[in-house]
Structure 1
Amino acid sequence: MLQLFKASPKNESGIRKVVQPSSPVASDKQNDQKLSPRFKDRKNHNQLLLKDQIVTVVERYLIQDENIDPENMTEVRIGQRGGFGRVYEFVNSENKQMYAAKIIDKQTLQKLRKKQKIQSEIQLHKRLEHPNIVKFEHFFEDEENVYMVLELCQNQTLADLLRRRQFLSEFETRYYIKQIISALKYLHNAPLRILHRDLKLGNIFLDSKMQVKLGDFGLATQLIQDNDLKQSICGTPNYMAPELIMAIGDSQTNDLKLCGYSFAADIWAVGVIMYSLVCGRPPFETPVVEETYKKIKKVNYIFPTEEQRKRMGLSPLSYEFMDLITLILQKDPRMRPSLDQIQSHSFFTSKYIIPAELPQYTLTQAPSKEFISHFKNDQLKKPDQIKKSPRNNLVILAQQSKTPELIFNLEFLEENLELKRLELELIDESLLVQRWADYTKKYGIGYKLTNNTYSVLFNDHTSISQSIEQQSNQMFSYCSVQTKDKKQEIQEYSIQSCPKILEKKMTLLRSFQKYLQQMELQTMLVPSYLDIRENVKNLKDIHVIQTFQGDKCMLFMMSNQQIQSHFNDNSMIIIDKKRKIGVFFSPKHPKVPYSFYINNPEEIKKIKPSAYKRYQIIQEYEKSSFQQYNEAKLQQLITAAIRQGEFYKRTQYTRVGWNQDNGYEYWIFNSKGNQQKRHYD
């Protein structure tokens, strides 16, 4: 015999009492006598009545009346309101068993689409069994409502937690995201292939042991194959992926490739949840939904600066956190990492071991430093191991799980990992111009590098420099003009025995140094994590060999085949000719660089238009600076030739150019008027 219960209105004390409903009790025969005609059409209790449509569901309501007495179900507390109904807390006072009941008023189920959503939610949810997914217990219905009995999560949702705490630490975020990923891997993998489509803080619950429980499958859908694409528009605006929003307009083209979306939409939502927990609000949140959509489609978001977080009493965002967020929030869904790759990112594998459980007090306050100290990871990878590991891990991953999604993404991911490796190499081998003072009209340009070396590049293309170590030893370095074998001789001198010819240049170095030190309090011109590099070895000989001042940026050509460009808006691009890559530092994301191959400008234009525009400016300025440099060099040579009597007029040369095989080419006339060809390497 079945026994059903429903919540009655609140009494004077504000506590609801459970009473027997007028819905089916005892046997089917009794039901037929008590129910209205539209209920008589039901064959058994496996059938869920939605208005005049009968939907058959496999599972019966299994709670027997000998196990639950209505008189013991005395306290019912209202929980949150969902898209289709309210959630109540049912307490059995005899055995203290507690449930959550989602109660949906049938008056809200007049439209067929809403009926189908409830049907889909029940059919999908009751199949799921995972430690990080809310357990579906039973369902039933009466004349007024549909009831879904679920596992109770006493500690509410991550949305409630964030409202109380405002911000969560990266330590806690790792803990929660790891469990969310575990639930999603279970849903996404065969045979389920379930796409949640409404991942958000309000749908992620916490049980009594602070374990994550993913819930609310009202918008979930099942894919037939891993590479299937969905087209229907649903979800919560702040968490929707660009391809999902773009489907609104692109669906009219009937091109599935343009307007479809798949598992990558859930992965995008994971990135939004991560950002929200640590930064306190979703990355694309605005008061107007249309503006939110615009920001999502452009992937327009910023990280809070170190100064902003300091004012709120928070620690700076780690490079690992910002790097992972940047990898996940990619406009192209194919470029987003898989769940396995997210889990193996350094954000999860370095610094701290993820605890099995967080203490209850973290519901209202941050975990103590003492608690966190127990989970420090003492077995961190060395930098060289980190560089070599990604590609090997990817090969192993491909061998272990050759899913269509992984095969589809493998080419993109391999290229990304190789680009990331080159980026790390570039950063390791870079010394950036931090500050400079341009006096090229008279002397040259003085600058300070990020290893605290002060230098001057003079108009005669020689340079003088003094590192912090040389300052303590009363030494300095002098770099002569480039020789024919394309090398510049760097000699070290003692200040006490400084050659007379260099005394004036040494005096100018001191003047530039004093002037630049007065600029120390100004805003940094490089990302802060590259600011101090005093202990980096094998970088002491890196120096500026040429500069170009444009109206939009300043170019520095370095001796290690790099071009550093500092733009007026404080963005910066490093072009590495040797590796054929570029790294773009945006003022909005100063700690998370965007890397690109310089031989693929169309790809840069597609993925990062702001980087593409700046790269075009650099190319234009580079040509101008090269021509300027050629003319200056040629002028020096002609002046020298005139002094030797080889020319009777300074204007008797025709042109200057560049030959890849021979270097600089120029044509001159001798004193007899005969044309001669010369090379300068």
Structure 2
Amino acid sequence: MDKYEKVTKIGEGSFGKAILVKSKVEGKQYVIKEIGISRMSGKERQESRKEVAVLANMSHPNIVKYKESFEEGGCLYIVMDYCEGGDLFKRINAQKGVLFPEDQILDWFVQICLALKHVHDRKILHRDIKSQNIFLAQDGTIQLGDFGIARVLNSTVELARTCIGTPYYLSPEICENKPYNNKSDIWALGCVLYEMCTLKHAFEAGNMKNLVVKIIRGSYPPVSVHYSHDLRSLVAQLFKRSPKDRPSVNAILEKPFLSRRIPRFLSPQVRNLRWKLVSRTVLILSHND
């Protein structure tokens, strides 16, 4: 920790702390996740190191950038970029009941999907998609964060966190003690989309038991008709009770009302590459004619 100067604590969960720090060398701000590993078994520590290695390889404009990690004094420290715009949860609350324009929702949602596609294409699950884990960079770009952190935790901590933390994003299969799969991430994605449309959680109850009943039934207040049929229909598809009935992230991005928004979020290099591919295809077609 010698390279960093603590600025302030910005969050605390059952996994540990999130601390805003300043690099003594660059003068740049970062977020450090501090995870207690002293009680973990050797096997669990090994697993956590493997997860961090996966995290280190995640390079995408819509995923919070990993800087480094190190172990010190019984803790694992993961250093990530700091997103000055705060998280989506705070942004939603700041609306004070004023609904977002549909364009804004779709632009954010497409970026979240592009990040999740990057993860799922590598046969990895995020496992902790929620509005508090989606951040806004200074330029307004959406970045998916805390990726992999859920897997760093041992099963007992993870179970406690599911029950104590934010249970609003639990899918029906998790409520029924079935295994987590890529479609459980899609359910959580649906919960985030619903929040952006209504500024509320889709599933809320006074206690865990009633919440689980609501989730398993899939009963939630409808999204306002103020939004398009495409958007409302998408929410319903993401909240399909059976995982196999939910679309994959690739199928979501192929929907015309979303796919036409993708080019503006691709880097210039990727855009140029796509244009070259299109040009070559057109050339081949005209040559065959």
The whole-number CA distance in structure 2 between the counterparts of 1:305 and 1:79 is 34
Cα deviation code 1:32-71 (max 9, x no counterpart): xxxxxxxxxxxxxxxxxxxxxxxxxxxxxxxxxxxxxx6x
Aligned-residue offset at 1:93: 6.5
* Pairwise CA RMSD: 2.8
Q: Which amino acid aligns with 1:110?
A: R
Identity score, percent:
27
Which residue does 2:39 correspond to in 1?
110
For 1:172 and 1:86, locate their aligned partners in 2 and report how far apart those are by CA, in whole Å.
31
CA positional deviation for 1:218: 1.9
Q: Which moved more, 1:118-127 or 1:267-276?
A: 118-127
Indicate the larger mover: 118-127 or 294-303.
118-127
Q: Which amino acid aligns with 1:324?
A: L
Match in the other structure for 2:63: 133
Q: Which of 293, 298, 320 is 2:212 aligned to?
A: 293
Residue of structure 1 in register with 2:283 after alignment: none
Q: 1:165 to 1:146 in 2, by over 3 A?
A: same
The offset of 1:141, in angstroms, is 2.5
Cα shift at 1:148: 1.4
- Residue type of the alignment partner of 1:202: Q
Q: What is the alpha-carbon distance in structure 2 between the residues aligned to residue 117 and residue 296 of structure 1?
A: 31
Structure 2 gaps, min length 5: 153-157, 266-289
Give the Å deviation of 1:195.
0.8
Q: Is the 8 A contact 2:194 2:223 kept in 1?
A: no
Say whether 1:180 aligns with 2:100: no
Change beyond 3 A, Cα 1:82–1:213: farther
* Distance across 1 between alignment mates of 2:20 and 2:11: 10
State yes or no: 1:341 paired with 2:242: no
Once residues 347 and 291 of structure 1 are traced to their aligned partners in structure 2, the CA distance between those partners, rounded to angstroms, is: 35
| Cα displacement (A) at 1:158 | 0.8
- Aligned twin of 1:90: 21
The answer on 1:238 being equivalent to 2:168 is: yes
What amino acid does structure 2 have at the position aligned with 1:174?
L
What one-letter code is carried by the residue in structure 1 that aligns with 2:100?
Answer: L
2:31 aligned partner: 100
Q: Which amino acid aligns with 1:152?
A: Y
Where does residue 102 of structure 2 map in the other structure?
Answer: 170
| Residue correspondence of structure 1 range 9-28 to structure 2 within 5 A | none
For the residue of structure 1 that corresponds to 2:94, the secondary structure is helix
The 1:88–1:344 alpha-carbon spacing in structure 2 relative to 1, beyond 3 Å, is same
Residue 277 of structure 2 is matched in structure 1 by: none
What's 1:318 paired with? 228
Deviations 1:179-224 (A, max 9, x none): 11111111111xx310111111111122222212212122249xxx
TM-score by length of 2: 0.76
Question: How far is the alpha carbon of 1:115 from its aligned partner?
Answer: 4.5
Cα pair 1:245 1:293 within 8 Å, conserved: yes
> Structure 2 CA distance, aligned partners of 1:79 and 1:265?
28
Q: What amino acid maps onto 1:169 in structure 2? A: P
Number of aligned residue pairs: give it. Answer: 252
Contact kept? 2:12, 2:18, Cα under 8 Å:
yes
Q: Partners in 2 of 1:195 and 1:105 — Cα distance?
A: 22
Residue 290 of structure 1 aligns to a residue whose secondary structure is helix
Q: Are residue 328 (structure 1) and residue 238 (structure 2) matched?
A: yes
State the Cα deviation string for residues 455-514 of structure 1 (Å, max 9, x = none): xxxxxxxxxxxxxxxxxxxxxxxxxxxxxxxxxxxxxxxxxxxxxxxxxxxxxxxxxxxx
Q: 1:265 corresponds to which residue?
A: 184
Deviation, 1:110, is 1.7
Query: 1:273, CA displacement in angstroms?
Result: 0.6
Is the 8 Å Cα contact of residues 223 and 232 (structure 2) preserved in structure 1?
A: no
**Alpha-carbon deviations, 1:626-656, whole Å to 9, x = none?**
xxxxxxxxxxxxxxxxxxxxxxxxxxxxxxx
Change (3 A) 1:92 1:338: closer
TM-score w.r.t. length of structure 1: 0.34
| Distance in 2 of aligned mates of 1:305 and 1:76 | 41
**Cα distance between partner residues in 2 of 1:173 and 1:152:** 23
Q: Which of these residues, 80, 94, 100, is aligned with residue 11 of structure 2?
A: 80
Greater strand share, structure number: 1
Q: Secondary structure at the match of 2:62?
A: coil
Which whole-Å deviations, capped at 9, do the CAs of 1:326-369 have from their partners, x for residues lacking one? 1121111111112222123354268xx57948xxxxxxxxxxxx
CA-CA distance at 1:287 after TM superposition: 2.1
Name 2:285's counterpart in structure 1: none
Q: Is the 8 A contact 2:130 2:169 kept in 1?
A: yes
- Equivalent residues in 2 for 1:627-642 (5 A)? none
Amino acid at match of 2:246: R
Aligned to 1:528: none
CA shift, 1:151, in A, is 1.3
